[in-house]
Amino acid sequence: MSTLTMPKTLEFPFAAPPKIGEVVEVRPGIFWARLALPFRLDHVNIYFVEDGAGLALIDTGIDNKASRAAWEILLALPLAGRKLTRIIATHFHPDHIGLAGWLCERFDLELAMSHTEYLMALNIRLDPSALKSEPYRSFYRSHGLGEDETEILLGNGLQYLRMVAPPPRTFLRLSAEDRVKIGERTFEAMTGAGHSPEQVMLYSPADNVILSGDQILAKISPNVSVEAMDPDGDPLGLYLRSLDRLKRTLPGDVLVLPGHNLPFVGLGVRADELIAHHEARCMAILEACKVKPQTVAELVPVIFGRRIDDPHQLVFAFGEALAHANLIIRDGAARIVQTPRGLALEAV
């Protein structure tokens, strides 16, 4: 495409989101609905794509009473008479896959998702208390988190199960570069890491539309966290590479249908903003580490500008601070040293 059609700021073609129980047609045969979430982030977007006489569903909302009730309204009103044909889950997070098992069983549907995301969803069920054992407790404590904060983080697996119905025992694997035919459309599957390990995005060149899951959002910087089972992992490096690939691969005027916030045009602009945002956080961390070595717990207020007391937020904040620290270490700009306050990042 010519650079003349490249938007310089984000554009929001749909000023207002659908109300709970409503759907909005964003392209002929592509529909957008919303479900509520009981968090500070209070909603998730789901989409339907015409699939013959029925509709393929992309993401499902969390499993709780309010979501199930909203689904009953969707099924009775805007979707009345239209069968669901299959479910595609972008990634294993509760707000995206929570009701997949429930819907699959109820309507005898297949669930399509990437291999890694499906296994992540299964793995948590195998031993939800696994995080409460070693070496995970010591891992959090070693980075300067207190006892209470550590217990909150260790309880994450059990929290997850409360929000996710058991997924089906079999799935259909989606991989990068698959061509996914839904009705008359052919989507190209793309995958991206960082926010989750193998998030699936579906791009329709004919519609100039991408269903992006949480990989790129208009207002929110998607959480990028180091997991306790991969303590030296570099999810931020993977995430930045994914943003770069999206920017290079997709047209600048593609309509992005994201998992949260409003649909937008301006993927390149937003990718650049997110890259700059993470670079600024890395710089702030390095500045703080030049004054004195900082534990990851101490870095949370450095990058978020405040203490985080909400347990749900702290899980994300700690993982995110560590993701920046690990990238900085890989870049060779800092190293880990032992201090009386725990392991700390020291500028080199």
Q: Minimum distance from CB of 7 to Zn ion (Å)? A: 25
Residues making up the chain, counted from first to last: 348
Q: Closer to Zn ion by CB, 93 or 281: give it.
A: 93
Q: Minimum distance from CB of 215 to Zn ion (Å)? A: 9
The residue number with the shortest CB distance to Zn ion is 93
Q: Closer to Zn ion by CB, 185 or 195: give it.
A: 195
Proportion of the chain in helix, strand, coil states, percent, rounded to 5: 40, 20, 40
Question: Both ends of the chain: CA-CA distance in Å?
Answer: 44
The residue range among 45-53, 211-219, 245-253, 287-295 that interacts with Zn ion, by the rule CB under 5 A, is: 211-219
Q: Minimum distance from CB of 275 to Zn ion (Å)? A: 19
Q: Minimum distance from CB of 316 to Zn ion (Å)? A: 10
Q: For Zn ion, how many residues bind (rule: CB under 5 A)?
A: 2
Quote the tokens at residue 240.
């930045």
CA distance 328 to 323: 9
Q: Minimum distance from CB of 17 to Zn ion (Å)? A: 18
Cα dihedral 40, 202, 20, 271 in deg (nearest 10): 40
Q: Closer to Zn ion by CB, 38 or 52: give it.
A: 38
112 SS3 class? strand
Q: Minimum distance from CB of 126 to Zn ion (Å)? A: 21
Q: Closer to Zn ion by CB, 205 or 311: give it.
A: 311
Q: Minimum distance from CB of 91 to Zn ion (Å)? A: 6
47 SS3 class? strand
Q: Minimum distance from CB of 262 to Zn ion (Å)? A: 17
CA distance 170 to 87: 13
Q: Closer to Zn ion by CB, 264 or 297: give it.
A: 264
Q: According to the binding rule CB under 5 A, does residue 320 interact with Zn ion?
A: no
The only residue of 214, 234, 298, 320 in contact with Zn ion, by rule CB under 5 A? 214
Q: Closer to Zn ion by CB, 124 or 297: give it.
A: 124
Q: Which of 131, 191, 194, 201 is nearest to 161 (CA)?
A: 131
235 SS3 class? helix
Cis, peptide link before residue 135, omega less than 30° from 0: yes
Q: Closer to Zn ion by CB, 50 or 214: give it.
A: 214
Q: Minimum distance from CB of 276 to Zn ion (Å)? A: 22
Could you tell me if residue 81 is left (phi over 0), alpha (psi between -120 and 50 degrees) or otherwise beta?
left
8 SS3 class? coil
Distance (Å) of CA 77 to CA 16, 22, 28, 74, 82: 20, 8, 19, 5, 10
**DSSP E strands, 131-288:** 172-173, 179-182, 185-192, 199-204, 209-213, 255-258, 264-265
Q: Closer to Zn ion by CB, 93 or 185: give it.
A: 93
Give the x-and-dash track for 91-110 against Zn ion (CB under 5 A). --x-----------------
Q: Closer to Zn ion by CB, 218 or 336: give it.
A: 218
Q: According to the binding rule CB under 5 A, does residue 260 interact with Zn ion?
A: no
Which residues inside 75-94 make contact with Zn ion, applying CB under 5 A? Answer: 93
The residue range among 44-52, 212-220, 267-275, 310-318 that interacts with Zn ion, by the rule CB under 5 A, is: 212-220
Residues forming the site for Zn ion (CB under 5 A): 93, 214
